[in-house]
Amino acid sequence: MPTNYFVALLALSIVLHFAYPIGKVLHPPATYAGYLLIGFGATMNLWTDALFKKHDTTVKPYLDPSTLIVSGSFALSRHPMYLGMASVLLGVAVIHGTIVTFLFPVAYVALMELLFIPYEEEICVTVFGDAYLEYRRRVRRWL
């Protein structure tokens, strides 16, 4: 599950920051921007989860969705939960400000691009056909 990758990368980011706090590239007050990124990411995830529940469709990437959601957070990104989790990882990196922590949001995006997004988008094309293709033309994958 994408959430497992997120939690593992978040934990690694924090542990490696304290184990190897080298290469400090950001300092206060610039690091405070990380709290805004975390807030944005948490908001995206909560908003998106509420939309899944409202439309009674699955959040699990390995199950077929029953509803194509194109409003709310899905009007901003085709994968708003992944965007939210990547934003939290980036926010943590900004707060810590060390080089090693910036590897984890990049790793998360790469993992989602390789392991989940192609499969999910293929399912959506199969289930929703032209409606999904039109949505995909209008809305960017990330932002």
Distance between alpha carbon 141 and the CA centroid of its chain, in Å?
A: 11
pLDDT > 90? residue 21: no
The CA distance from 39 to 47, in Å, is 12
Asked if 94 and 34 touch (Cβ cutoff 8 Å), the reply is: yes
| Of 20-29, 78-87, 119-128, the least confident | 20-29
Mean pLDDT of the chain: 96
Query: Percent of the chain scored above 70 by pLDDT?
Result: 100
The CA distance from 28 to 14, in Å, is 18
pLDDT > 90? residue 60: no
The CA distance from 69 to 104, in Å, is 29
The CA distance from 36 to 90, in Å, is 10
Confidence of residue 35 (pLDDT cuts 50, 70, 90): very high
pLDDT > 90? residue 20: no
Rg (CA), the chain: 16
Q: pTM (2 decimals)?
A: 0.94
Q: What is the pLDDT of residues 100-110, one digit of tens each?
A: 999 999 999 99
